[in-house]
Amino acid sequence: MPIYKAPLEDIKFVLNEVVGAADLAGLPGYGEATPELVDTILEEAAKICEEVLFPLNQSGDAEGCTFDNGAVKTPSGFKDAYQVFREGGWTGLSCDPAYGGQGLPMLVNFVVNELVCSANMSFGMYPGLSHGAYNAVAKHADDALKNIYLPKLADGTWTGTMCLTEPHCGTDLGLVRTKAEPLGNGAFKITGTKIFISAGEHDLADNIIHLVLARLPDAPQGIRGISLFLVPKFIVNPDGSLGQRNAAVCGSIEHKMGIKASATCTMNFDGAVGWLVGKPNKGMSAMFTMMNEARLAVGMQGLGLAEVAYQNAVQYARERLQGRALTGVKAADKPADPLIVHPDIRRNLLTMKALVEGCRALALWVGHALDIEARHTDEKMRAEAADFVALMIPIIKAFLTDTGFDVANLGVQIYGGHGYIRDHGMEQFVRDARITQIYEGTNGIQALDLVGRKMPEDFGRLMRQFFHPVADFMAAEKDNAALSEMLMPFMSAFGKLQLSTVTVATRGFGNPDEAAAAATDYLRLFALVAVGFMWLKMAKIAAARLVDAGGAGANAAFYETKLKTARYYFTKILPQVNALNIAILAGAKPVMDMPAEAF
């Protein structure tokens, strides 16, 4: 049976010592979010994830969701678990207190998302999408819609979805055909079919709020002619009670490779009544509020799955007896040594550990910036944080999900044949992780966003929010003897990132194919350097703590492990940037020179 224990020690280290989460308590509205309170909240989150959600993960995968005449039933135990989750206030953790939320920093919600996704990613889809819907309505809807729907989304009584994809179009939303016809009373009649709608129908909540992209009768063609509509499963009466069933019906659910306890629905809108969110023909700007949050949340799904895969791989490597160590017997009282003595097993485990902990630090740095963007009193600070978040969204989404899948696969490799069967649960992590690289914009789309939109925006304005802090750090620490063995390879890698950035930008300006062909390699190179930067910061703190404690103390082993993991990252993982840089410099010709008919 698989295991899971929330990695609170590492999370608190990143929050309190690396990203400086304590300063959030000084922002307007966050006065109660002290480190002590946040620690208490995370400990409670760990309990519900370990004791309520994780025990349902394997059974939920085996049972899946069932569909019957438009109704979807979630697996056994999910409804009760959702009730516990909702009553605990977890659905409204960072929602506005004016609508019944707890008003905690988004960074706290970020961390809880990781824990939930480690414990039960399928379950996490339901409240996760609701939070995105909450934010889109809060930012773009009028007060009448906010007052009706936000309190119910915040307390989890109602859940939310986003309905973008149609049978004939996925990423190219300019092809959307769903129609919206005015009814004359501020409402609209929505007609069309949406596919791949996560949590489109289920039995967890009283009402489901669909945010639907559709076209008004006079809308221009393409992406500029899309509007966003709020379409409830049940019409809400003036007194707030639920009225008649709306014409928004689940036609079927998908039979999927993974996340089987999350209902993925085909939704048919047959003249369903909806209300406009935001301005006519400006639906994409409103939907991007939800999409950008979803992309960050999907990155946390990748991180969560990587963490639980790593934990199980470590346990198996410690317990499984297989062969003898090449340097001599290590467990003389046993018929064989545990797997963990073997160099290749240790290589896999260290790769998993270095990526998981580095990605967590990077993600929480971005999560911290979300709160700076939202609450800081200095306009310049807010703008710089917004630029940093915008730059990092495609990196968090793509690299953390690639990492989640890669780490889960390494876990299977450590288990050997036992990893390929259901009993140990590792193969489920692989299957669940695979979708994260696809939905909310495939990782190739994220790479195109990075080089096509984020890189050139305002002549590199967004890029400076990463490049400048890194350059400042290197200048400040150039004489830090504790970092010398790591700083030199990092400086080399950072130089490769700078060279690749100039190459992609200049070549792409003359020929867009040049940027597009290099995009995936460039995003990975950027991400490896960004994670390396976080490892430098963690190594600096760990080294200083060991000096302060005289090399001893209760946490000495924790900080020593950090330093050893950092050394592994800089010697065994970061050098990948060299090959990626060579591939980027090769240009688009090797990719585009092949005639289509030759494939």
The catalytic residues are 440
- Other C-beta atoms within 10 Å of 5: how many? 14
159 vs 463: CA distance, rounded Å: 36
- Other C-beta atoms within 10 Å of 469: how many? 14
The token pair that represents 420 in the structure block: 């390929």
**Contact present, 394 and 47 (Cβ < 8 Å):** no
Strand partners, 338: 321
Nearest-10 crossing angle of helices 379-415, 283-319: 40
If DSSP states are collapsed to H, E and C, what string results for 311-329?
A: HHHHHHHHHCECCCCCCCC
Q: Could you say which DSSP state residue 438 is in?
A: T
Closest to 352 in 3D by CA, of 425, 400, 403, 302: 403
48 vs 38: CA distance, rounded Å: 16
Closest to 158 in 3D by CA, of 187, 172, 139, 137: 137
350 vs 357: CA distance, rounded Å: 11
447 vs 532: CA distance, rounded Å: 19
Return left, alpha or beta for 276; rule: phi > 0 is left, psi -120 to 50 is alpha, else beta.
beta
Q: What share of the chain is helix, strand, coil (3-state, %, to 5)?
A: 65, 10, 25
Element (H, E) at 26: none
Q: Could you say which DSSP state residue 570 is in?
A: I
**Contact present, 394 and 401 (Cβ < 8 Å):** no
- Other C-beta atoms within 10 Å of 50: how many? 17
Closest to 374 in 3D by CA, of 113, 24, 83, 126: 24
Angle at 535 between CA 529 and CA 539, to 5 degrees: 145
- CB burial string 370-390: b at 16+ within 10 A, e below: bbbbbbbeeeeebebbbbbbb
Which SS3 state, helix, strand or coil, does residue 209 take? strand
